[in-house]
Amino acid sequence: MWGLLFNFFPMIVTGFEGIYCEINEDFWFEEDKIITSDGWTFTMTKAGDYTLYGIVLGTKTYNKYDTPYVPINTFSPIDLYMGVDDLLENPQSYPYTITKFDNRVGYTMFNGLSESYAEYFRTHSGNNHIIPHNQEVLNELRNIDAGDVVLIKGSLVDLYGTKDNQYYRWDTDTQIGNYDCEIILVDELTIYSD
């Protein structure tokens, strides 16, 4: 499936496709590990506590049947592209284009905007990979949509997965912005809809 281009000036990106994983069926937690039903074991290393309060500018969902297959899709079923500070307070005043691809990276592109404007948007937004740590968080993720203001509490984590002779490394960023990605093991999620 080819990437989709959403072009709104100014608007909030939508595109929720649903979350189809189940805790204790598709994946489960054992101490510092995530085990998947298809045989992967991921060891989590905590990079720090994390709290994020912002607006959802866009969503992208994943499941274990996506092609190409990526083992993290089983337990990280959604990315939230979030905005903070003035993007949270005045999202309508920022024209932006978000391109979503089949992989787990979201890009924000700017056309004809000043460098200072683009830099502000870049450093006050980020793509957050969400791992629900309990059933309550997973249930809330099924209700989330672009435009929602959310409070996320949990931990930033690095993951190293193995299955037979295969391995998969997934490292987190430690702050929103910088074109990098936060991987958040989410313990609490509160949604404040418009």
CA 76, chain centre distance (Å): 8
Do residues 100 and 60 touch, judged by C-beta distance below 8 A? yes
Which helix (H) or strand (E) segment holds residue 119: the answer is helix 115-123
Look up the pTM and report it.
0.86
What's the pLDDT tens digit per position in 42-67?
999 999 999 999 999 888 888 888 87
> Measured between alpha carbons, how far is 124 from 54 in angstroms, rounded to an integer?
10
Each domain of the chain, given as residue ranges in start order, spans: 4-192
> Measured between alpha carbons, how far is 156 from 42 in angstroms, rounded to an integer?
15
Do residues 46 and 154 touch, judged by C-beta distance below 8 A? no
What's the pLDDT tens digit per position in 34-46?
999 999 999 999 9
